[in-house]
Structures are given as C-alpha cells and as structure tokens.
Amino acid sequence: YIEPVADRISPKAIKFFTKPLITALVAGLLGLLVLGPVGYIVATWIADGINALNTYAGWLVPLILGAFFPLMVMTGTHYGIIPIGINNRMTTGFDTIVYPANLCSNIAQGASSFAVALKTKKEKVRELGWSAGITAVCGITEPALYGVNMRYKTPLIAACVGGGAGGLFVGLMGVRNYAGGSPGLMTLPGYIGERGFYDLSNACIGAVIAFVVSFAVTWFLFHDEDEGLKAAAGEETKKEKEAASCLENASVQILAPVSGTLVPLSEVNDPTFAQEILGKGFAIRPADGTFVSPVEGEVVMVFNTEHAIGLRSTDGAEVLIHVGLDTVNLNGEHYHALVKAGDKVKPGTPLLKVDLDAVGKAGYDVITPVLVTNTSEFADIVCNAPGQIEAGQPAARAFR
C-alpha cells in the first residue's frame, strides 16, 4: 500500500533511491508506533487466555497451540507465548504447555513441506520444499511457512491439523520439556529428565503423529499452483498448456537496444551495475552508436546529459539504458537524444545517437548496462547467454 504512493511522489531521476527510502521509513514508523503496540496487546491477551485455560484443561492447551502456532508465527504473537514456557522451566523445572506443542507444530510444517516436494512437478518448488522441510523439522519453520505452506495454503491447513493432532497426544500424556532451544529434532534431548525416557519417548510419538497426519493431509489436499494434477503420467493436459500460455503472457521480453556483444552485468567495471544495486539486467559492448527501444511502451525519462534513458513497457517493466560508465561527466557532448519524456515507443524505435569513437577517445568505457529497475516486482530476470547480438534480438526476459 505504501510503495505505490512512494513511487508516484518520487522524482524520476532519483526514484531508485527515494522510493525504497520512503517505503521503509513510513512502514517502519507504522510498525513501531502502531503494529508493534497492537501486537504486544494481542500477544498479552493470548498469553493470559492460555494461562487461564491451562488451569482448567491443561491437556487442551498443547492441542490449541500445536494447531495455531503457524498462524501466531505469521503475526509475531507467538512471542507472547514463549515466555510462558521459559517461566515454567524456571519455576517448576519443566514445561508442559508451550515447547511440546511447538515441537509438534514445527514437525508438522516440515512434513507439509516434504509432501509438497514429493508431489509437485515443479523443480524449483521441489528444491525449496526439501530444503525448507529439513530446516522446519530441525526447529526453524520460517522457510517452510513463508516459502511453501502459506504460498499454497492447503499445506498450511495440513500443518495446523497435524500440529493439533500431535499437540493433543503430548497434552494427554503430560509430556514435559526440561530444556529450551528451537523445538525440533535437534532439541529432543531436552525431554530427558526426572522421569527418565518417558517424556522423550512420548515427545517422539507426538512428533511422529504430527508428521504423519500433516503429510497425509497435505498429500490429499495439495495440487500444483496453476497446474493441477496430470490426467496421466507423461501426458500434457489442457491446464498445463493454459498455464504455459499464461506464463508466456506474464513475462516481459527485453530486446537488445543496440548491436554488439552481450555480457553479464558482473563484467561491468562499476559496482553499482555489477552488484545489481539499481536492478538486474545485462550489458552490451555496442558496435555502433544507434540505440533503439528494447520494449513497447513510453519514455519516462531522458537525462539532461542524454547519456541515459528510462522507459516503461506496456507490461510494467521499467527499463534503464545507460550508455557508458561515468559518461554523465560529458554533459551531453557526443550524445543526441531522439525522443523526449512522454513519447510512445515500439521495439526498434530510435532513441539515441552516440558518437562512440569520441566517447572512447575522451577516456570513457562505452559498455552499456540495460537494467530492469523495478526488479523487485518480478520473480526472476533471465538473460540470454553472452555473445554477439543484433539490435532488436531478445536479450532477457522478466518473469512475474
């Protein structure tokens, strides 16, 4: 909500700096002055409710916490619950409320992530599912929660069901936790205490219940996003074709604005471009001085020194063409813009004429970075392999 406003009020010439600054400043103040205090109040209410419920039905608390812990982590209100477990260990020597339930919840989230990894047909989702699942069962659930379970929603529902099932078991058994740490497989020795291996064995059973239930429910409910299940192995369905078509339409193609040699940004001798601070993209060592539009859209900015031009494509990509390094110091000498801000352009529309020989003799590198400055609005920017390229040929694609 804040970023679009920051985008509108930021001057085009310094938008790459002011837009994130305004967004972070306003969001930060709102977080500290509004969301933080509200979250503290809500967390306190939850903690008081948990303590009251534990007085009358202690076995029920791990079930509730095991089921709803992922939702509490999403909102940060779990920080109102954790001190209860710590206080219990400090006063009675063990905790039967928070940490046993959190163990089941974390294991359940890992199980959901594993189920997604096994069932998905998408390689990137599979890799994320395995890695996030491993960290979750070891006690760190954020990668699984935000990267997999929330993304597909049904795995999150399954994790809540599995966490609740495991939490019910450890609650009925009165499982005690004697030591802290992020609940997971690595902290299971924290259940060895005055009752020998009773609490450890039941904690393991509760974790297994949470894992099995969550995995099974995820397997039953989960379908690949925008893909669905295949009607038969090795057979492409109509949905897959439609998804592929949507993917093609959802991507933005960036053409080469000039003929020359396509090189990765990492080869540009300027850290601002090489480290992708202004955005991802590619660079071209130009073979001639005629630069054309790489997209269909509108000219949003022509620098006063005419060494750089900003475009916005009809598909929403903001493209910056920066001809040469430190060439702003030439104050427009050897550069001649053929368009102005507000002009409509199509791929191949002439934008700029540059006397490359003169720029080179003046001691400047004429390598030309071409950046997607709103990279954060795209899932990925994929560039073509380095090599010779002609103006108007595809050079990169931005995927939403």
Domain at 345, CATH number: 2.70.70.10
Q: What is the 3-state secondary structure (H, E, C) of the chain?
A: CHHHHHHHHCCHHHHHHHHHHHHHHHHHHHHHHHHHHHHHHHHHHHHHHHHHHHHHCCCHHHHHHHHHHHHHHHHCHHHHCHHHHHHHHHHHCCECCHHHHHHHHHHHHHHHHHHHHHHCCCHHHHHHHHHHHHHHHCCCCHHHHHHHHHHHCHHHHHHHHHHHHHHHHHHHHCCCECCCCCCCHHHHHHHCECCECHHHHHHHHHHHHHHHHHHHHHHHHCCCCCCCCCCCCCCCCHHHHHHHHHHHHHCEEEECCCCEEEECHHHCCCHHHHCCCCCEEEEEEECCCEEECCCCEEEEEECCCCCEEEEEECCCCEEEEECCCCHHHHCCCCEEECCCCCCEECCCCEEEEECHHHHHHCCCCCCEEEEECCHHHCCEEEECCCEEECCCCEEEEEEC
Backbone angles phi, psi at 326, to 5 degrees: 60, 20
* Total structural domains within the chain: 2
**What's the pLDDT band for 124 if we cut at 50, 70, 90?**
confident
Shared domain check, 318 and 170: no
Which pLDDT score is estimated for 234? Answer: 42
Shared domain check, 156 and 287: no
Shared domain check, 68 and 212: yes
Report the C-alpha gap between 66 and 252 in whole angstroms.
43
Mean pLDDT of 286-305: 93
The answer as to whether 280 is a domain residue is yes
Shared domain check, 206 and 63: yes
Which residue among 172, 203, 221 closes a domain? 221
The answer as to whether 35 is a domain residue is no
Per-residue pLDDT reduced to its tens digit, 306-347: 999 999 999 889 999 999 999 999 999 999 999 999 999 999
Neighbouring-strand partners of residue 397:
253, 382
Tokens of 252: 């933005």
Shared domain check, 257 and 189: no
The answer as to whether 67 is a domain residue is yes
Which residue among 176, 206, 221 closes a domain? 221
Per-residue pLDDT reduced to its tens digit, 208-238: 999 999 999 999 999 875 444 343 334 444 5
The answer as to whether 199 is a domain residue is yes
Domain that holds residue 342: 251-399
Q: Active-site residue numbers?
A: 322
Shared domain check, 61 and 157: yes
Shared domain check, 217 and 272: no
Shared domain check, 172 and 77: yes
Q: Which segment, 6-15, 41-50, 177-186, is predicted with the most confidence on average?
A: 177-186
The answer as to whether 45 is a domain residue is no
Which pLDDT score is estimated for 379? Answer: 80
Is residue 297 within 8 A of residue 398, CB to CB? The reply is no
Shared domain check, 284 and 198: no
Is residue 250 within 8 A of residue 397, CB to CB? The reply is no
Which pLDDT score is estimated for 225? Answer: 56
Shared domain check, 83 and 134: yes
Mean pLDDT of 20-27: 92
- Angle in degrees, 0-180, between the axes of helices 60-75 and 154-173, rounded to the nearest 10: 140
Which whole-number Å values give the CA distances from 194 to 73, 94, 102, 186, 304, in the listed order? Answer: 31, 10, 21, 20, 77
The answer as to whether 238 is a domain residue is no
The answer as to whether 332 is a domain residue is yes
Shared domain check, 63 and 203: yes
Position 400 pLDDT exceeds 90: no
Report the C-alpha gap between 283 and 61 in whole angstroms.
58
Cα dihedral sign for 8, 10, 13, 19? Answer: negative
Which residue among 181, 200, 221 closes a domain? 221
**Which residues lie closer than 8 Å to 89 by C-beta, 6 or more apart?**
95, 177, 178, 179, 180
Per-residue pLDDT reduced to its tens digit, 52-68: 777 777 778 888 889 99
**What's the pLDDT band for 348 if we cut at 50, 70, 90?**
very high
The answer as to whether 14 is a domain residue is no
Shared domain check, 108 and 163: yes
